[in-house]
Structures are given as C-alpha cells and as structure tokens.
Amino acid sequence: MSKETSNPSILNKRWNLLPLPDDNKINELSAQLNNLDKTLTAILIQRGVDTFEKAKAFFRPSFDLLHNPFLMKDMDKAVEAITEAERNNKKILIYGDYDVDGTTSVSLVFSFLKQYFPNRIDYYIPDRHKEGYGISLQGIDFAAENDFSLVIALDCGIRAVNQMQYAKQKGVEFVICDHHLPGDELPQAKAILDPKQADCKYPYKELSGCGVGFKLLQAFCEKKGIDKKELYHFLDFVAISIAADIVPITGENRTLASLGLKKINENPLPGVKSLIDLAIKKPTLTISDLVFGLAPRINAAGRLGSANDAVKTLIAQNESDGNNKAGKIHSANKERRDLDQEITQEALELIEKYENHIDLKTSVVYKPDWHKGVIGIVASRLIETYYRPTIVFTKSEDGLITGSARSVKGYSVYDAINACSHLLEKFGGHKYAAGLSLKEENLEEFTRLFEKKVAETISPELLIPEQVIDAKLSLSQITNGFYKILKQFAPFGPGNMRPVFLAENVLVKYSPKVLKDKHLKMTVFQPANPTVSFDAIGFDLGIAADKIDQGVPFDIVFNIDENHWNGNVTKQLLIKDIRV
C-alpha cells in the first residue's frame, strides 16, 4: 500500500509516497541494467517495467514494438471496405470530431489516403455548435448528397446506433474508428475498430482516436505492400493526438509518442512547423509543449469557429500556406483565452452565491450566454479552486442545455452522470471528462440528483488534491549520470508522469526570494552533504517564503529539471509542494 503523509503541506495536499518494490527485484533488475541507480530502478518497477525486455522496450522504442493491426476486431473488414472502394472508383469521406484528437485523425487519414483516391476523397468535421459531438445526421446527408458511399469516422461513432440506421437508409456505409467505451448496443456499421469492445483481442486498449486511425492505415499498408515509411511521415499527428487527448503514455502509445515527437523535432510537417513557430519558442519540444502549446490552438479553431481551419493548417503542403492558416487559429486561441478567463470568473462568483457551497461535493453552474466552446476549459479551471466533480452548462442552438463535465483524480464523473441519464437527452465521454445535454426544465432536478449521487459514492480523501511521490531522494544522488538516465524516462504523461521526489530535512542557503509577487526562488542543501546544493523554484509558491527560516529544516517535493540561462545549462529543482 502507499504511504500517506498527513502533516499539512503549504498547498494542503495529501502526500502519497509510493511503496518501494521488493529489494531483491530492485537489485536483480539494477544488475541487468548495468547497475542502474536503485532509486531509478525502483521507479521503473513501480511503472510495470520489471524485466530486462520491458526496460529495453521502454528505453529504446521502435516500430518493431508495434502490434499487428489485424489483431484488432474487424480490421480485415475495414481494410477490405477501403480497398473495395479503391477498386470500384468510389468516393470516400473522412469524418472526424472537432477536437484535437479528431482533427489530427482526419489530417492523418486524409493526407495518407488521398494519394490512393485522387479527386475522390474529402473530409468533414461537424460544427461544434450546430451539430454537436459525434456523427451527425447533417454529416450523413452531406455524404449522401455528394456521392460518398464510404465514410471513415474517426474518434467518434461507437454509440451512433440511430445514426447508422439513418445512414443505411441513405445508402452510406461507415467504417467506425473509435476509442471511447461502447454502449450496450453497437451501431450497424461495415466495420467497427475500437479496442475497448469487450470481444476485441487487441493487446493494447488505450490508443487515441488518431492511434486507431493509424492502425487502420498500418493494416492498409500491410495489405497492399506499401512501404511503412510512407505512413511514418505523418507521425506528427499521432504524437499530438496522444498528448492532447491525455491517454496513457504506456505501451504502444509510448512507442508512437516517442517516435512522433522525434519526427516533430527533426522534420515536422509544414503545418505543424507553422504552429510550432507561432506557439513555442524552444529548440526541442516535449509532450508538455504539445499539450500546452499546440493543442489549445488546434482546439481553438473548433471552439470559436470552424475546426476545418485546424485541419487546413495541419495538412498544409508548404510553410507559406501553413503560416497563413496557423495565424488564423493562433488569433482564435487568443480570443479563447480571454473568454476562458471571463467565464471562469463569472462561474466562481455564481458558486460563491450558493448556500453552503463549501459543503457541496460538486460544482454545477449554468448561464445561457456562456460560449459553448470554452465550457470544458472552464470546468477544469473551477476544479483548481473547488476540488470536486464539476459541470459547466450553457444553452445551445437547439434550445437544450449543454454541459461539459470534469472530474477529480480517482472518481468517475461518467458513472455519476450515467446514474442520472433518465434526465438527459444524450451524453458520452470518459471517466474524467464527459459531455451531456438536457432540457432546461430538467436542470434543477439533474443538479440535485448529481450532487446526491456524487456525495454517496465519492470518498472524502478524493476531495483533497493528492501529490503522488515516486521516491525519497537525497540531493547528493542528483548527479549528471542520474539525470541523464532520468531524462530517458520521457516522454512523460499519464501512466508515465515525470518522477516526483521527496527530499527531507533540507535547509536554505540564503533567505528565499519571491519573484513577480508569487514565485518562490531559493537555494537548498541537506546538512549531511552541505557542499551539494541546488537552485529551486516553486511556481505560485511565494506564500511559503515567510514560513521558511534559515537553519530550520523542511521537506520538499520536486521534479528535477534544467535551467537554460545565458548559454549555461544547470540542473534545478521544480518545487511542487513544501512541508515546513
């Protein structure tokens, strides 16, 4: 079991120190890995990397590690549908959701297949505000009216039972590529690719929507004898989708993210390079840069305008074209940020007006004129203040109330919403994020029932933010060799987060400084090795400065990072929390 520490931290978080694996396991794996540092070996084992073969795959990702795509249920049917369309000169439509995973999926499959369907291929992204999430009747009408007899739906469709019945009436066939949880009834499509189907034997279940699209193209290449290098040219899209959709960066996702990130850093596609040049001012990108630099801009197109603008940018054929289109969605992102801040403030003020709002286990807020495109972001922002499951509602163009839900770690907001589904018109999503819509007259009862359900099923500790700590570490252990191996744990993300360490009884060399009135800056050491010291910075931890005294020991939780300044590169500690 993990070791919870109850002493109050500066940020009032629960410190959860993960247990060390068995000493014999650590020693055995360390020896197999050229006497790798025991702390780093322990973290590998904690993450399921407990054999030499798994460690080799972890540290040396390669295309040889990708699974056979035909292990996925219906893959043979899906490939046959595409090759049959190619043989018979049929038109094919690539359909995808309007978020990053959807638009990168469309960009990937459209860019690759257009060479095999010259002048017979197009793409379609539903309008977020007019059509909503998933496969729309308007989209099916578009396919039928424009002679597209086959539609490849990406990042959506697994619950489109009624839509598939409508498509059959219109003479439109679908190949569905999804990664969301199926419902009790599957849609009647030509083929359904979704590793989360109960009877799908595919060995890796956590692919992004774009990842499922990639597997389809991988199978298509194998079937036709196409050199796989042609497909790897588009790995940028897969890496961005994995980063943005917050899927686990483990197994096959780790391989695809690693190789895609390498591709982006060495030779990005023109449209991706245009976005990078606008958004990220650094030579080497990480998964975090994709999440916070590229993804919001790609998302902003669909949130405030048309997600087609995102696809047009991503599939740009040259930098000039990419720069023109990237500028448009960059501007949309600036507008999105302003809206996000404004609505978040209004939502916080609404919550604070509720009677006994501090005692509630949920936050549910509604204002009819809030912009539908940013309510998901606002829900995440509200959790930063009130750490509890949250839903933000606004009014949609069809007269319904539409909402975006976000959850706290360890709690399924999807299950809680499902328990109230009799009040909803539709809903869908994941454990931690969901979308839903209902009639306005049902909102009050839904809010009451949702609060009741969460209160009954959430454990009290889940309402306190948790700080997971991988291992204790002495500052003297942070050598150049240690950090060199630690960097090879990247790419970081869910399932493989950047390791967090606990250093106990540290002291400050000088009085701490507060930068820009909010960031803590100090130099720390431990009495056992006073000559070993590190600069440390704690963003938004300036509140700790007056609690730290020279000569008085305290504990820190931190990541290890590099500081680049005036051509010099030094290791520094990124403080995540402090316990005085």
Question: Quick one: tokens of 56?
Answer: 């080799």
Consecutive H or E run containing 449: helix 443-457
- With helix as H, strand as E and coil as C, how does 96-122 read? ECCCHHHHHHHHHHHHHHCCCCCCCEE
| CB-based contact 503:558 (threshold 8 Å) | yes
3-state secondary structure of 430: coil
The continuous run of DSSP H or E covering 83 comes out as helix 75-87
Residue type, 289: D
**pTM, to two decimals:** 0.89
Place of tokens 């972890």: 58
Query: What phi and psi, each to the nearest 5 degrees, are found at residue 108?
Result: -65, -55
- Interstrand relation of 529-538 and 519-526 (parallel, antiparallel or unpaired): antiparallel
Put residue 61 in one of left, alpha, beta given phi > 0 → left and psi -120 to 50 → alpha.
Answer: beta
Classify residue 9 by its DSSP letter: P
Q: How far, rounded to the nearest angstrom, does the alpha carbon of residue 24 sit from its chain's CA centroid?
A: 35
* Per-residue DSSP letter, 181: P
SS3 string of 450-507?
HHHHHHHHCCHHHHCCEEEECEECCHHHCCHHHHHHHHCCCCCECCECCCCEEEEEEE
Helix axes 38-46, 23-32, angle to 10 degrees: 110
Q: 282, 289 in Cβ contact below 8 A?
A: yes
Strand partners, 429: 434
- 336, 296 contact by CB (below 8 A): yes
DSSP H helices, 354-428, are: 375-385, 413-418
- Asked whether the beta carbons of 377 and 436 are under 8 A apart, the reply is no
Domains of the chain: 3-19+466-579 (2.40.50.140), 69-232 (3.90.1640.30), 354-463 (3.10.310.30)
Burial of 403 per CB tally in 10 Å (0-12, 13-18, 19+): buried
> Which strands make up the sheet holding 401-406, listed edge to edge?
363-366, 390-395, 401-406, 433-438, 426-429
Side chain identity, residue 257: A
Who's near 370: CB < 8 A, 6+ residues apart? 343, 346, 378, 392, 394
Specify the DSSP class assigned to residue 319. H
Taking alpha carbons only, the member of 444, 362, 442 closest to residue 405 is 362
What's the residue count for the chain?
A: 580
- Could you report the per-residue pLDDT of 197-241, keeping only the tens digit for each? 999 999 999 999 999 999 999 999 999 999 988 999 999 999 999
pLDDT digits (tens, 9 = 90+) for 84-94: 999 999 999 99
Distances (CA, A) of 104 to 110, 208, 300, 306, 516: 10, 10, 14, 14, 38
What is the maximal distance between C-alpha atoms in the chain?
80
Q: Are 537 and 562 within 8 A, CB to CB?
A: no
Secondary structure in 3-state letters for 244-264: HCCCCCCHHHHHHHHHHHHHH
Whole-angstrom distance, CA of residue 247 vs CA of residue 264: 19
Per-residue pLDDT of the chain (580 residues; tens, 9 = 90+): 456 655 668 888 999 999 999 999 999 999 999 999 999 999 999 999 999 999 999 999 999 999 999 999 999 999 999 999 999 999 999 999 999 999 999 999 999 999 999 999 999 999 887 887 789 999 999 999 999 999 999 999 999 999 999 999 999 999 999 999 898 999 999 999 999 999 999 999 999 999 999 999 999 999 999 998 899 999 999 999 999 988 999 999 999 999 999 999 999 999 999 999 988 878 899 999 999 889 888 888 777 777 888 899 999 998 888 888 888 887 877 888 888 899 999 999 999 988 788 899 999 999 999 988 889 989 999 999 999 999 999 998 888 999 999 999 999 999 999 999 999 998 887 788 899 999 999 999 999 999 999 999 999 999 999 999 999 999 999 999 999 999 999 999 999 999 999 999 999 999 999 999 899 999 999 999 999 999 999 999 999 998 998 889 999 999 999 888 887 888 999 999 999 8
